[in-house]
């Protein structure tokens, strides 16, 4: 049989099948799963909750990974029908959490456990309960970058545990062109830094003059953040969360996230 005629005939049959709708559904490319990618938590049970973590969906593996306000987690998810969804966190780091971080971690874990469905509108994802009420509301996000961006300081290490820096204190930090600038929530500070890939060294930390009383009872937060800066020797980035570490594969001394201002 003439191979050229054979392939031409098959191509003609395939074309006609597409036109008349005779090809099986499996032969037609399906749209990418809308859940795929990373989503940042904005609300939990209808209440503003930033920072409260994020979650990434990997549909090919039916896997999830992410961060609460305190710990990292991974797990699995299952979709059913058009909008059915269940999420199960199967493993999580066990760092001690205090203050707001502890409450938001519990709320996020509860939201995932209560999820039975979802809806997506543009770049907003709502995880819904069985009664249709929102368990969590999230927005699609991109990978964070250490340098050139103003970051919120969301957590700091103190007394062997992780403590939250409340958003209303205004604790922020920026790394740019070898200079660190920021505010502990009590006072401003400056420093210098050098970077070699994922290694970092912060030096010459100069806080502004100490006020008699820090606003919002941030004295401990002020001291912990200033102590964390020279202790930072490395960093890692997981989605929109940057951890300053006391060494490669070490413990986090500061957790920061883009301010998105």
CATH number at residue 113: 2.40.128.270
247 domain residue, yes or no: yes
- What's the Rg (C-alpha) of the chain? 24
pLDDT at 51: 67
The Cβ of residue 243 has, within 10 Å, a number of other Cβ atoms equal to: 20
253 domain residue, yes or no: yes
Closest to 189 in 3D by CA, of 176, 169, 204: 204
Instruction: Tell me how far apart the alpha carbons of residues 93 and 246 are, in angstroms, rounded to a whole number.
Output: 17
> Which residues of the chain, if any, have pLDDT below 50?
1-31
Residues 197, 177 within the same domain: yes
Answer with the one of 120, 140, 160 that is the final residue of a domain: 140
Residues 179, 79 within the same domain: no
Residues 127, 41 within the same domain: yes
**Total tally of structural domains belonging to the chain:** 2
Instruction: Tell me how far apart the alpha carbons of residues 76 and 140 are, in angstroms, rounded to a whole number.
Output: 19
Domain of residue 48 covers 37-140
pLDDT at 253: 95
Residues 44, 99 within the same domain: yes
The Cβ of residue 91 has, within 10 Å, a number of other Cβ atoms equal to: 9
- DSSP symbol at 11: H
Strand 47-48 with 63-67, pairing: unpaired
Instruction: Tell me how far apart the alpha carbons of residues 240 and 260 are, in angstroms, rounded to a whole number.
Output: 11
């Amino acid at each position: 049989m003439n191979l050229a005629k054979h392939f031409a005939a098959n191509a003609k049959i395939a074309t006609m099948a597409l036109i008349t709708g005779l090809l099986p559904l499996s032969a037609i490319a399906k749209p990418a799963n809308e859940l795929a990618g990373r989503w940042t938590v904005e609300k939990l049970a209808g209440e503003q909750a930033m920072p409260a973590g994020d979650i990434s969906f990997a549909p090919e593996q039916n896997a999830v990974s992410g961060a609460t306000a305190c710990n990292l987690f991974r797990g699995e998810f299952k979709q059913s029908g058009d909008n059915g969804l269940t999420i199960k966190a199967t493993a999580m780091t066990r760092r001690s959490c205090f203050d707001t971080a502890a409450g938001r971690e519990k709320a996020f874990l509860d939201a995932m456990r209560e999820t039975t469905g979802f809806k997506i509108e543009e770049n907003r994802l709502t995880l819904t309960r069985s009664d249709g009420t929102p368990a969590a509301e999230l927005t699609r996000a991109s990978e964070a970058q250490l340098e050139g961006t103003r970051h919120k300081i969301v957590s700091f290490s103190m007394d062997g545990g992780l403590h939250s820096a409340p958003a209303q204190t205004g604790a922020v930090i920026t790394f740019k062109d070898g200079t660190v600038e920021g505010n502990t929530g009590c006072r401003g500070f400056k420093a210098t830094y050098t970077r070699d890939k994922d290694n970092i060294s912060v030096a010459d930390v100069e806080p502004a003059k100490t006020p008699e009383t820090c606003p919002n009872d941030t004295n401990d937060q002020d001291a912990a953040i200033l102590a964390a800066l020279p202790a930072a020797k490395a960093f890692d980035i997981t989605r929109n969360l940057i951890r300053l570490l006391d060494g490669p594969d070490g413990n986090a001394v500061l957790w920061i996230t883009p301010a998105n201002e």
